[in-house]
Chains A and B, each alone.
Chain A
Amino acid sequence: SQQGEEDPQALSIQEGENATMNCSYKTSINNLQWYRQNSGRGLVHLILIRSNEREKHSGRLRVTLDTSKKSSSLLITASRAADTASYFCATPYSGAGSYQLTFGKGTKLSVIP
């Protein structure tokens, strides 16, 4: 199954700084999604970018997608302590006539107040 891989595995920054996380995937996709998981909680959908889009914004989040390099990045600007969480990229995988998401292992972001 195809799977995204996030980089770095862990990231620690000061509050107010920008945080950038990257995701690489293996085969062609029609969309890529980013999720956030706070400690001990379920995943929360942040943003979906389609293969014909290069950049997408949502509040302090900016996602880019480079299909030629099979990579995506998630930028969180002006980070806050509340942004401390794990961030996962997810890509569709085809199985039994439908598509399901496969998830990377995540980037653990720590924002220090």
Chain B
Amino acid sequence: NAGVTQTPKFRVLKTGQSMTLLCAQDMNHEYMYWYRQDPGMGLRLIHYSVGEGTTAKGEVPDGYNVSRLKKQNFLLGLESAAPSQTSVYFCASSYAGGGYGYTFGSGTRLTVV
């Protein structure tokens, strides 16, 4: 089925460990996004990309890095995980920017202990 696929779905990390979250879309969308969702905070934009090879910071970029080497993939990295990064992470893609609907993945639930 066409859509956005996130891996892994669940992960537990120890403080200081690193990991990469993978997002893949098969809709040929130019724009891709990483959000985090925390209770009572809604969704907050971490980083986004407006095309292959480009990345930009969102509202809460500190502690995260991203890469968009291929159009269909958008990777989110945590270099040194902290308990404050415990959250549910969502990837989304869209044909263009905020003038079009987003397609979201099913999320990655990350716990940092």
Contacts and interface: CB of A to CB of B under 8 A. Distances in A.
Interface of A: 1, 3, 30-31, 33, 35, 40-45, 48, 88, 90-93, 95-96, 98-106
B98 A103 contact: no
Interface residues of B, number: 27
Nearest to B58: A100
A42 B106 contact: yes
Interface string B95-110: 0011111111111000
B98 A104 contact: no
A105 B42 CA distance: 4
Given A1-B59, A100-B45, A30 B99 contact: yes
Contacts of A105: 40-42
Nearest to A33: B101
Determine chain A's interface SS by DSSP, over half rule. Answer: strand
Given A30-B99, A41-B106, A43-B104, A88 B42 contact: yes
B107 A99 contact: no
Contact of B56 (A40, A45, A48, A96): A96
A100 B42 contact: no
B29 to A, nearest CB: 13
B103 A45 contact: yes
Contacts of A41: 106-107
A42 B34 CA distance: 12
B42 A104 contact: yes
Contacts of B98: 31, 91-93, 98-101
Nearest to B45: A100
A5 to B, nearest CB: 9
Contacts of A96: 56
Interface string B40-51: 111101001010
B33 A100 contact: yes
B46 to A, nearest CB: 11
